[in-house]
Amino acid sequence: MNSKNDERVFNMPFGKVYPLLLQKVVRKGRTREELDQVLHWLTGYPQQALEDQAASGVSLRDFFAQAPAINPKANLITGLICGVRVEQIKDPLMQRIRWMDKLVDELAKGRAMEKILRSRA
């Protein structure tokens, strides 16, 4: 991606992205609770704060900047998302966004929650 596209992604409202993530997982037979569990694991947001962030219009940049605690095991998230290896993304914010995408993809594909949350590592 170039910096113009990166800025467009960074400025996307989390409140517009969240329903798309939810739609993706529900369509594949997963639940809102599972999506929220994955987002909580990645960002540390408790349930009410996650709902508040989705309702507030906060950008993805601010959503991740205000996250209580990025999970220390997030660096164990590997693989391709949008044709790019998430572990090789240089920009820390873009990497966090792609980590979120990867976790949601794993959830939608039916992967076990224990594996999604890197419980064994």
Q: Where are the domains of the chain?
A: 3-116
Q: Are 35 and 107 spatial neighbours (Cβ–Cβ below 8 Å)?
A: yes
Residue whose C-alpha is closest to residue 81's, from 91, 61, 71, 95: 95
Q: What is the pLDDT of residue 2?
A: 60
Mean pLDDT of all residues belonging to the chain: 94
pTM (two decimals): 0.92
Q: What is the pLDDT of residue 104?
A: 97
Say which CATH class 3-116 falls into: mainly alpha
